[in-house]
Amino acid sequence: MIIVCQQCQTRFHLDDDATRKSTFVARCSVCGHLFSAYRPVRTQAITFIDLEKVRQAEADDTVMAISNRKGGVAKTTTCLNLGASLALYGKKVLLVDFDAQANLSLCLGKRELPTFYDAQKAVSRPLDEFIVATAYPNVWLLPSGRNMVLLNKNYFGSRDFEFLLKDRLETLEAEFDFILIDTPPSIEFSTLNALTAARRVLIPCQCDYLSTHGVDQVLRLIALIRKKSNPLIESRVLLTMLDRDTSVSQMILSKIKRLYQGQTFETLIEMDGQLKEAQILSMPAIHYSRKSPAAKQYIQLAREILVATDRAAVSAP
Ligand SMILES: Nc1ncnc2c1ncn2[C@@H]1O[C@H](COP(=O)(O)OP(=O)(O)OP(=O)(O)O)[C@@H](O)[C@H]1O
Ligand SMILES: [Mg+2]
């Protein structure tokens, strides 16, 4: 049989009789990497489990970025309402506003507060000193503000700059069940940091023709990030602002489902005027009107994510 070191990719021929065990540990004689291996059945290729990667996957499961290269597709709305919905299920949620427009902070009525930029300027202070409580139980916020544009200017291109957020969030992962990061519609410091920190990416896609181009761009970026800085990153598309009454929406819905087969959430978010009303009052829609269609759908989305991430969902909140 052939075994391949997961670290340096060196291939070794191993006598089939070398071990009769279904699982065994091997050490690479080239780089010294230690890994476990098992063969589920004789006829299948041997599958190797890289214990280091498994541990990392478990630890990083908390962080999810909300991203799309296109503007106005409901990234911020989704971050806010999904976060508030997960909180209804009793989960502790940190919302990270990583967009200099600071729309997420504004939607929660938080203005002119210290931001991640300020936290970077004071690296000796723990990040949780910059986190603020919101009016909603179980929902916390790392606010954004005008000085967030300076992150791009001061750090973009510097050595390992894309790991700055990941390194700071790692100190908080034990405190929260979910950390959701809202990103801007451009590829810059914030987006690259968010995609490096996140284990999962939720890509909101508005049900219109041009939105799929934004999804393609973000998927290409995710493929690059997977190679460079975040090998375990996964993504899923969320259809937003669906208008079931128009045939255009229905056509685009079936096109998107075909294009991203198996990579879309079951839950769909419909067009709902009450989301805009809630925004004016700086509230998540699920607290403004729990019975509105989009509020119910965001709660359903939270449930879908809880089930997918094996975090036992409790009965409806
Ligand atoms: N399901 C919905 N029904 C009706 N309006 C919606 C819905 N989702 C979002 N909107 C509205 O669409 C607009 C854009 O939403 P949002 O700000 O969340 O998008 P975004 O992707 O974060 O934008 P940006 O790229 O500028 O950050 C907002 O006015 C919001 O209220
Ligand atoms: Mg936004």
pLDDT digits (tens, 9 = 90+) for 286-300: 899 988 999 999 999
The answer on 107 and 12 residing in a single domain is: no
82: helix, strand or coil: helix
As a whole number, the mean pLDDT across the chain is 86
CA of 66 to the centre of ligand 2 (A): 9
Q: In the chain, how many domains are there?
A: 2
Q: Are residues 82 and 152 in the same domain?
A: yes
Do 33 and 133 share a domain, yes or no?
no
Of residues 262 and 94, more confidence is placed in: 94
In a domain, 231, yes or no: yes
One domain for residues 107 and 127: yes
Neighbour count for residue 25 (Cβ, 10 Å): 11
The strand ranges marked E within 114-171 are 132-133, 139-142
Query: Do 66 and 162 belong to one domain?
Result: yes
Residues 38 and 117 grouped into a single domain: no
- Which residue range(s) make up the domain with 217? 55-308
| pLDDT tens sequence across 127-148 | 999 999 999 999 999 999 999 9
Ligand 1: nearest atom to the Cα of 185: 25
With CA atoms as reference, report the closest residue to 116 among 125, 107, 101, 127.
127
Residue 265 within any structural domain of the chain: yes
Q: Which residues, 6 or more positions from 219, have their beta carbon under 8 angstroms from its beta carbon?
A: 203, 235
Q: Which residues line ligand 1 (CB under 6 A)?
A: 71-77, 99, 101, 103, 185, 240-241, 269, 271-272, 275-276, 279, 294
312 vs 247: which has the higher pLDDT: 247
- Examine residue 315 and state whether it is found in any structural domain, yes or no: no
pLDDT tens digits, residue range 201-243?
999 999 887 778 888 899 999 999 998 889 889 999 999 999 8
